[in-house]
Amino acid sequence: MRRFCLLLLLCSAALSLASCRHRPEVGPAPITTLTAQDRAEDTGGAIDLDWSGYAPPSNFDHYNIYRSRDPISTVARLRPISAVAKPDETTDAPTSYVDTPITDGLDYYYAVTAVDADGNEQRVVTGAGPVQSARQEPGPAPPLDVQVQDDDAPDDPGGVINLSWTLSPDDTGLGGPITGYQIVRLEQLEGEEKVLSDVLPGRSTYTDKSGDPKVQYYYGVRALADETVRSEMARSGAIISYGRWYNRNRTNVVVSLGIYAALVIFFITRARRGHELYVRPIPGIEALDDAIGRATEMGRPILYVSGLGGASGISTIAAMIILGRVARRVAEYGTPLLVPCIDPIVMNIEREIVRQAYLKAGHADAYDPDSVFFVTDSQFAYVAAVDGIMLRERPAACIYMGYFYAESLILAETGASTGAIQIAGTDADTQLPFFVTACDYTLMGEELYAASAYLSREPMILGSLKGQDWGKVLITALLVAGAVIVALGANWAPAAEFAESFKNLFAAM
């Protein structure tokens, strides 16, 4: 019997190997006739690609062109620089391509792949290269004296470079032989060029706003006679830009942050001194004690789900704080608690939170570390496991706090089918309708954060919450006042004069 099974196993392996070896290729046949060479009789910056003789498949759609500074053995991690498609249904796609503009004197490698109408791209790639472009014909006279300067505007954020140059001697303005100037940037003096822009003839300045501060760049300018004829490049020296430490246009942001910080610090200080800070009662939080009491009377457990977010998520942190309050009540009443976790880090943190809650309640011996347990990090496998727990354990209360995704309705519907009282809270606005529909109480958006302050009464959290609330009051008041002033058509001239005098005073400082 064992020999017969071994024979069947060997036959199965042989058939699998044979099927792998003779698996039909997906995608068009490979292009093996690709050649790449410098374009003849040009002023540089162009490479001619040709793959004549290739017979595309009947359902051919387009060619992808790839370029790299390293030899190409696969295009899996490359992005095509261009595509060549059929101009119409009756005409074949061209089998040549001109790559421009590129940097003269650098090695380049190319590959061309065929793609069919189903989106399948050929698997086998035959690259071409290395190939360099070089100037073979004289072009127009280049511009002169390229100068670069770090932008010195008061509100310069950094990475802004001003270029200037002397016009090409051949530049006679619009309609002349010069059709424009090409602006390039290099990170190394003899490195690869990045074309920034083309400017009109007669223009001798350009501002580059796309650079990074504290990075050294070189710049070059070429005169263009048409799309393929260009002059030699006039280079600048090295330049590094630095941003200004303060942007005066953002003064309103600084003032707003100062007011907000002052409010938060003020309320945190009051909370630490023992002043009672009022927080509006939240029905969902008020119902927590009733849910725990109901579970205690029925002798059934409480299920607590802290969402699918990680330990660094704000909503997960709020859910952990609420869990501390629930665990302390559970410890006082002796009610079983089940906390299934999708993240192992969250599980360890919540185990410590529950342990501390039992310790503060004076029932450290009743703490069961297995009540907080890891299930899986797969979204719907986790939801299926939690649903199974609901159906087996029949919890009297299901509490969902934290960030949820598409599984929210599955959890809430299953909990509702068991007859459990359900309390949910999330800042995922796309999931709120499902919780509102299927749960008894729902904490919406910022109520989740307010609940953590309401339950913990921690001065830092409570003061931050009150500071945010008063900041919103001020913003609302300013919006209303501005709307009223605009509606009344008030004259802003005195305010404008005051703002201008304030600006001049600030500039003088």
Does position 491 have pLDDT exceeding 60, yes or no? Answer: no
pLDDT band at 490 (very low <50, low <70, confident <90, very high): low
Mean pLDDT of the chain: 83
- The predicted pLDDT at position 383 comes to 93
Cβ atoms 143, 167 nearer than 8 A: yes
- The predicted pLDDT at position 12 comes to 57
Q: Using CA atoms, how far apart are residues 262 and 191, in angstroms rounded to an integer?
A: 51
Pairing mode of beta strands 441-444, 421-426: parallel
Give the pLDDT mean for 35-40.
Answer: 88
Q: What's the pLDDT tens digit per position in 249-268?
A: 778 888 888 888 888 888 88
Weakest mean pLDDT among 169-178, 311-320, 383-392: 169-178
* pTM of the full structure: 0.52
Half-sphere exposure of 394 (CA within 13 A, CB side): 5
Per-residue CA distances from 338 to 31, 334, 374 (Å): 61, 13, 11
- The predicted pLDDT at position 20 comes to 45
* CATH for the 35-131 domain, from 2.60.40.10, 3.30.750.200, 3.60.10.10, 3.30.530.20: 2.60.40.10
- What ranges do the domains of the chain cover? 35-131, 144-240, 250-275+461-486, 283-445
Q: Using CA atoms, how far apart are residues 343 and 376, in angstroms rounded to an integer?
A: 8
CATH 3.40.50 for domain 283-445: yes
- The predicted pLDDT at position 509 comes to 44
At the fourth CATH level, which superfamily is domain 144-240? Immunoglobulins (2.60.40.10)
Comparing 35-131 with 144-240, is the CATH topology the same?
Answer: yes
Weakest mean pLDDT among 184-193, 297-306, 432-441, 453-462: 453-462
